[in-house]
Structures are given as structure tokens and as C-alpha cells.
A and B are shown apart, each in its own frame.
Chain A
Amino acid sequence: MSRSRLQYSSVLPSWVEPPPTEPGSIDPLGYLGPSDRIAEQLLPGATVLTRRARYLSFLCWALRETDNEPSETDRWEIALSVGEHLRHGDDTECTYLGSRLLRGRALARGDRLPRRLHVQTARLQYSGLLRSCGLADDEGNVSHLGAEIADTFGRYMPRSIPKRVSGCDGLPCLSKIGDREASSLRRGFFETTDEAGRRLETFREVGTRNWRRVLQHGPAVLLRSYMGQPNPRAKSAAQLLHEAASLELESLPLTRLFLELYSNAGSLAGSVPRSGWYRVYQIRETSKEMLADVAGHLRRAAALGRAILMLSLPCLKAHVLHLHRVAKADAPWVDQDWRILRPGLKPQRLPGVHEYRLTAFASLLHDIGEI
């Protein structure tokens, strides 16, 4: 073959780029889906963000007052938040939306009311719960019960949106809920709809004392009491809590193990002990203790009927990697050999048990004086 006749291209190769993906750093093993399903059955309508009952009263009033006009509702909400800010200052006991942003702004009493504050407004966050409690319909029309609550709440509201910060002084506090308003909200939570019936069952199943403990210490204290053998004749709320408790026995240790392996590019010193002491829903941080805690949790989960694999470090590593590659198929954090594909995704605070909306609902119950 003569050299002059040889053909070549003038094209340079390109580097292959991954398909575009959404950034995301939570739920590396995909346990959020099952836990959310349980939470939706336990406490339908609520979310982990719906913590203040009086926002429902405010929304019933605002929907009626503004004729379901979103921008006006949001302005009223800003006034409500500014009022809380004036009342409580840096005190964090009374929580309200936009508090962090307001603390960051040095608002003077003579300033104009901000036109914008937080993005995730109560209108967006509480709309599901509002409907679920039967206080408004899908079109934003307030129900009879909603109108009743709006009337009660409306007594404390000024006739027009305050123009200046100082005018927000007179708006009601989210923590000071009257008996009549609380009673109406209680009916909304527990009586009006099928979903309310499910909430009532969960409320009764947990019991007032436990709700208080959940409010103070989080859901782990409650889930611990549901780790016994399941009773097939128990009510559905009890069965769901039992399911959540056993899911957490699996999801918490595996997620923590994955994050540890992710940080160390797949290497972890030590081996899985055959037996040992551990504290439920607590995973210690050193590798040896972590493996003991992981093994303890998984053994307990297996005793509760979850399908758990062989307890050896290679098996655990392969298992969490498989779970991760399925959960984050579009943008895995690590490859098959634990090489990091997306650095810097380890959360600042290590995850605990899922919330199952329990703390948020306990807070709602606390607001209406139920616990």
C-alpha cells in the first residue's frame, strides 16, 4: 500500500459526557420512597414541614378574604411573619415561616413591609393538609368548617395589609390559639374526612404521652416501642408503625454505612462482629463500632422479618452499592469499584431515622392543646 494513497480523518475524538442529571444529595439508598409511603398512610395530608396549626386558620381566613388570590395571600403571610418577628425577636420558641430571613434583615419599625420573603409559603406548604382536613376544596373554596375557623381567626386580623413593619404588631401570634379555634381545628384533623379518620387512629394508637415524647425527642423514641414481634390482629396504625420501626432498623445502618464507605472510597477497616452490644437507632462513628451497630441493627431487622443478607463486610458493601446504583441510577455517587463519581455529597449532619411526619404532627397537636 503506497503511503500517499492512505486516507485519514481530520476529526478529533470528543470526551463522552454523562447525560444531564438533577443534582441531589439526599437518600443515597432510596429508602425515602418506602418511608414516605408509610407516613402517607399514618398521617395523610401532613408533611414534615406542617408544624403550626394556626397557619390553617390563617389560610382559611386568607382564602376567603383575598378570594383565593395567591399574591395577596402571600403578602398577608409576610405581615404575619413580620408580626411574629416583632413579637419574639431572636427567640426561637415560636416558629414561623421566614424567621431566618427576617433575622438576617435589620428591619426597622418604620420600614415598608417587604414585598417578598420566603419562597415556600404557607399557601404552598399547608395546601395539602388544608384539603385533607376538609377546610377547603381543590379550587380553594373554603368549607363550612373552614369558614367557621376563618371567622374566629378573622377577629384578630386588621382590615387591610399593613404598609409598614410597625403595623404588623397587631397581627395574631401562631402560638396563641383560642379554645374555639382549637376545637374547630381538632374537628378538621380528626373528624371531617376519611383521611382525618386515619389520623385519628394514629393519634389514638400513639397516645398522648408518646406524642409528647415524640415532640421532645423525635420519632426514634416512639419507633423503639414498636420493635416487638408484629401482632397480625393489631390495628393498621400499629402495623404501620411496626413496619416503620423495622424499616428503620435496615435503612439507618445501611445509609450510614454507605456514607462512611462513600467518604473512604469503599474502604472500611474491621470486620462484622458475630454479636455485640448496640443501642437501637444509634450508629457510632468509628469504623469498628459502626460495624457492630450495623450488624446489631440488621440482625434485629432480620428477626422482625426483613430479608437481610449475609452479615459480612464484603456482602454488606456489595448490598449497599447495589441499593445505591438502583436508587441513583441516573447519577450514582460512586462507581462499581467505589470510586467517587460525585464528590462532596456527604451531608453535613449524619442522617437519623426518617420522620414519618410524626414530629410535625406532634407539633400540630401541641398547638391545638391536644398534648
Chain B
Amino acid sequence: MDSGRLQIPAAVERFFRESPSGRWRFLGLTYEFDLGTFERVFANVLRFPVQIDLVLGKEPASGSTRLRLWRASWAGLFHPKLILMLANNRVAAGLGSANLTAGGLSENLEAWSFFEGDQDRAVLGGIRSFLEHLVRAQILHPVTNAEEFIQALPDCADGGAVISTLGGSLMDQVTSRLGGDVRRIDIISPLNCDPTSVVRALRKRLSKTNICLYTSEEPVPSVRGISSQYVLERPQLDDREEGIRAVAKMHAKIYAFHAARHTDLFWGSANLSYSAWLARGRRANVDLLLHSRVTSRAWLRLMKKRLPRGHRWKKAVSHTNALPADEKRPAARWRLLHVAVEGGKIRLEATGSGRHWLMLRMPGERGSFRCCLVFREKTSLLPKRIAKRLGFAGGRVPPLLEWSQTTRREWSKIPVNSLDVIPGSIETASLECMLFWEFTGRPLPRPTPLDLPGKAKRNRKSSDAFPDEEELTVSEHQGELDRFVLEWRAIARRIALASGGNDRLRRHHMNETIKRVEDLASREPTAWPPYKVEMVRDLLERQWAK
């Protein structure tokens, strides 16, 4: 970005505003999440028919019917900050250090950028590899359908410009990417824990290098191996300029390695900590860094000249040896992640399998229910008796649930997601309605009764509706099978169009749809005899054109 500053919600809104209607998706990966802030800041985006899935590292404080919230299945900290947007076959991604909270979206000093198109192929390809890792390691719930983004994102050899802790230790990956002798390292990172081990490892690999640390912690802690430290000076209290905004804290994570001719920047979500830089496997955080190679001048201009108004880096003398205590890490023990409600069945997803005694309750209520659940493939069905008492009766789905192990009595919140409602509604919809909404952002047209002899009253024609969709509204005398064919023909055409020229994406949509149909057919064999499934398969396979 030329100005060196951006507003994340405005960029997201612009992406969807500039896209033709169809299948719109938003997948956000964040460590912390604040629903109130998200709904306020992204209010304009929430007005669009976008299906929003958010994968969180930390438990949410509240749940929503408009968004689907999922916990990542990872023993350590799930710490990436990534936004993926899809409009038909157009895809864009944003990554950086900002959580989807008030701090991340408006109060802290955060680094972020959005990427789209061929010029950002290396970054998008890297994000694709990262998503492939996440899917392979089963960190994301399958319903988040990250596979769709994988198919839409461009392929890139050698992992692209993005590195993650899922591909090995960041230290190894970063140092293997450095070109030329590194003379100085600028580290912009909050200090959430003792970074001595990381600094020592950097010194070991890149000897005779000055390491400058830029942070906002005060008093400035003393870190061994750091040559000089800078602290972010914020606008002073006597500044009478009303309306000036001071950043709450410095939360960006940027690592600049200066060589003779260029600067290698690694920026993203990884803090200067052992679990981000040195740990491997399940002990590591899930973190992302993007590799940019820029001129030193450009980097210094961003770091020093383009800071928010009234802010500057001030050389600091470390006053204390007291480093912050290590960040609180979730215990690697078994835990519940989230609940998915589909077809009247309430599935509890957990980090592992086995038999567990649990206490469940509605948030804010004192009365809880004790039950023993058996988790197979990390999933268990909630008995109807308990579900009813927890408030799932009559098709209602509470947005949040609290759980605790009977032995520990530490209550945690888990999001509850209803998979057979259109986002924002609470009424159960048929698979056809769901699919039509997912691929058009509109409700499935319904036949309107005849009010004049020989003439059907037509619904207001949507600007991008096809003739076969119109047939759905005017065929008063259509039989059940006619209607079935008309509906699925409209859906199949929309699926084909949403894929654009991307065959991989189309194949993915077809497979996903057939999977959902087959799931439904297995649950409701009377309503879905085999010939209907075959008919759907046939319609999906056809070549459709507008």
C-alpha cells in the first residue's frame, strides 16, 4: 500500500462490493476474537450475503447465529492471523499480526497487508500450502471448507513466500532464506515471554550481527544479546489536538534482516518467543510469517516515517531484568472444541477420542448436567435428553455452551454452530435452500400462488436470475419431481458459474455437494431414493452456461 496504512474492514468491504454476486465466503483465522467489535467494525460486510467462518485459538466470550465460530484443534497456541475472502472464483487473502478484536482492528500498532491476483502469486501460493498443512493435520473443522480456498488459490512451487511453524522451526526456515551477509536485525515484536533463547539462536547462526529490538513494553526489560532497544513513544498527554489516536500497544511482529543490498522482512503472527521460533511439531504455536525482500530505505521509511501521527521510536535503556512471564499456554490435555448441529443431531467435537465425564450448562446458568460421553474419531453425539435440558428443544440452538470435566470444575465456553440454517436465521432450511443461498446469496425462489386466471404473479426479478430460476416461481402446477429437477438445475448452474474457469474448484464444489447429498440420503432414505442422488450427480456433471 502506498500510504503505508490500511483499514482492514474497509478492504474486506471493498473486495465484496467489487465482486459479482454468487458464492461469497470469508474465512478468518485468529487467536483472539471479540464478537461485539467484529459485528460493529464489519457491519457493512455482515450486510452482504457472505458465509463467515472464523477459526479461533482462544475460547470466544459469546456466540452468534450470523457467524460460524470454530476452535482450532491444536494442543499449543493457534496463533495465525489470516483472512481469506472468496467471491466465486476470485480469491484474496490478508495476513499480519492483527487479531479480530478491538485491539487488533483499531487500537494496537499492527502490521497487515492484503494480497490478490497474479502479482501476489508467491504469497497466495504460500497461503495455499499453509492451508493444506492445516487440513492435513486436521486442525480445522471440515465444515470450514478450507479445501475450497485451497482449490481457488494459485499453486506455487516451493511453498511460496509464506513460512509457517507447521513446516518446521521458523528459525531454520528463516535463516535458510536469507541472502547475503546479515549486518543488522531489526526486531519489532511485543515481549510476551523471555526471548533470550531465540536471540541466542539468532546470534549463533548470524554472528557479528547487531540486533535492535523495537517494542512497547515499559519498563523496558533487559534481554541478553540485544544490542540496542527502542520503545514506541506515544503522543503525550499535553497534546491538545482533540481526536488524535494513540496506539494502545505495539503488537506488530516484523523481523528485518539487513544485508548489503536488500532487507529480508519476515512479518506476520510470530512473536519473539521460543514456541514460535524454535519449537517443533505439536509443541509449537501455529504461526505464519511472510517473506518480503525490499530495499533498506523502504523498510526504514515504513518503520520510522510512516508510524501513526504523534508516534516515534525512542531509544530506551533497559531498567529491569524482570521479563514477562511466559504466555499462558492451554494445557495439552483433552478438551472440547465446539458443537455442530445438523439434521437434529448435536455433535460435540473434541481434541481427542475416548470416554469422558463432562458437566454441561448454558452460559450464565448455575444448573449443569453431568453426563458420560464416548468420543469416537473425536466426535460424540449429545443425548437428546441432555440436549433438551440445555435449551436445544424445538429447533432452538443456543450460540454458546459451557463445559467442564467433572474432576476439574473449570468452566470453558464453546461455540455452537447450526449447520442447517442460513446465516443470521434460526429456522432450519432444506439442503436445496442452503445450497442456493450459499451459491447465490439469495433465498431459493418459491412458487407464488395464481391470483389471476391464467397468469402467475411473478416475484420481483433479480438482476442476475436465470430463466430456470424464474420457472421456480411461476410453475404453479409443477409436481414434486419437477420442482426437484428445477431446483437442482438452478443449483448446478450456479455451482458451475461460481467456479468460473477453475476446474479444480468446480470439481471440489461438485464433490462437496454430492457428499452432502449422500449424507442426507443416508439419513433420510425415503425422501432421497438412489435415483434422486443420481439425478443430482448428473445435473452437477453437466456443462452449464449462462
Interface residues of A (CB under 8 A from B): 1, 3, 5-19, 23, 25, 263, 325, 329-332, 335-337, 339-345
Q: Is the CB of A8 within 8 A of B291?
A: yes
Q: Is the CB of B156 within 8 A of A7?
A: yes
Encoded as 1 (CB less than 8 Å from any A CB) or 0, chain B from 297 to 320 comes to 011001000111000000000000
Q: Which of these binds chain A: B5-13, B350-358, B420-428? A: B5-13
Q: Is the CB of A15 within 8 A of B307?
A: yes
Is B477 interfacial (CB 8 A cutoff)? no
A14 vs B237: C-alpha distance when bound (angstroms): 26
Q: Is the CB of A13 within 8 A of B112?
A: yes
Q: Give B516 Cβ to nearest chain A Cβ, in Å.
A: 36
Q: Is the CB of B5 within 8 A of A14?
A: yes
Q: Give B272 Cβ to nearest chain A Cβ, in Å.
A: 16
Q: Is the CB of B115 within 8 A of A341?
A: no
Say what secondary structure dominates the interface of chain A. Answer: loop
Picked from B240, B252, B293, the residue with its CB within 8 Å of the CB of A13 is: B252
A263 vs B113: C-alpha distance when bound (angstroms): 35
Which residues of chain A are near B159, meaning CB under 8 Å?
A: 7
Query: Are A343 and B158 CB-contacts (below 8 A) given A1-B176, A19-B9?
Result: no
Encoded as 1 (CB less than 8 Å from any A CB) or 0, chain B from 101 to 130 comes to 011111111111101000010110110000
* Interface-central residue, A23, A335, A337, by most chain B CB under 10 Å: A335
Is B96 interfacial (CB 8 A cutoff)? yes
Encoded as 1 (CB less than 8 Å from any A CB) or 0, chain B from 60 to 103 comes to 00000000000000000000000000000000000010100011
Q: Is the CB of A335 within 8 A of B109?
A: no
Q: Is the CB of B3 within 8 A of A14?
A: yes
Is B161 interfacial (CB 8 A cutoff)? yes
Q: Give B400 Cβ to nearest chain A Cβ, in Å.
A: 20
8 further contact pairs, Cβ within 8 A, besides A9-B293, A12-B294, A15-B110: A14-B6, A16-B6, A16-B108, A16-B110, A16-B111, A332-B107, A335-B103, A344-B239
Say what secondary structure dominates the interface of chain B. Answer: mixed
Q: Give B521 Cβ to nearest chain A Cβ, in Å.
A: 44
Is B160 interfacial (CB 8 A cutoff)? yes
Encoded as 1 (CB less than 8 Å from any A CB) or 0, chain B from 1 to 33 comes to 101111111100000000000000000000000
Query: Are A3 and B176 CB-contacts (below 8 A) given A16-B105, A16-B110?
Result: yes
Which residues of chain A are near B398, meaning CB under 8 Å?
A: none
Query: Are A15 and B249 CB-contacts (below 8 A) given A342-B243, A344-B238, A345-B242?
Result: no
Is B384 interfacial (CB 8 A cutoff)? no
Q: Is the CB of A16 within 8 A of B98?
A: yes
Interface residues of B in 140-189 (CB under 8 A from A): 156-161, 176-177, 179
Interface residues of B (CB under 8 A from A): 1, 3-10, 36-37, 40-41, 96, 98, 102-113, 115, 120, 122-123, 125-126, 156-161, 176-177, 179, 234-249, 252, 254, 264-265, 267, 290-294, 298-299, 302, 306-308
Q: Is the CB of B41 within 8 A of A13?
A: no
- 8 tightest A-B CB contacts, nearest first: A23-B243, A18-B106, A335-B248, A13-B111, A16-B110, A7-B122, A8-B291, A14-B1
Q: Give B323 Cβ to nearest chain A Cβ, in Å.
A: 18
Which residues of chain B are near A263, meaning CB under 8 Å?
A: 237
A10 vs B290: C-alpha distance when bound (angstroms): 10
A34 vs B103: C-alpha distance when bound (angstroms): 29
Q: Is the CB of B241 within 8 A of A11?
A: no
Which residues of chain A are near B3, meaning CB under 8 Å?
A: 14
Which residues of chain B are near A9, meaning CB under 8 Å?
A: 115, 120, 122-123, 161, 290-293
A263 vs B237: C-alpha distance when bound (angstroms): 8
Which residues of chain B are near A343, meaning CB under 8 Å?
A: 234-239, 244, 246
Query: Are A19 and B293 CB-contacts (below 8 A) given A12-B299, A335-B103?
Result: no
The 29 sampled A-B contact pairs (Cβ below 8 Å) are A3-B176, A3-B179, A7-B291, A8-B161, A9-B290, A10-B294, A11-B120, A11-B123, A12-B299, A12-B302, A13-B254, A15-B6, A15-B110, A15-B111, A16-B7, A16-B109, A16-B110, A17-B6, A18-B7, A19-B7, A19-B106, A335-B103, A336-B103, A336-B248, A340-B237, A341-B247, A342-B242, A343-B246, A344-B237
Query: Are A15 and B252 CB-contacts (below 8 A) given A1-B158, A7-B126?
Result: yes
Query: Are A339 and B249 CB-contacts (below 8 A) given A11-B113, A18-B107?
Result: yes
Query: Are A340 and B122 CB-contacts (below 8 A) given A13-B111, A14-B5, A15-B306?
Result: no
A9 vs B125: C-alpha distance when bound (angstroms): 11
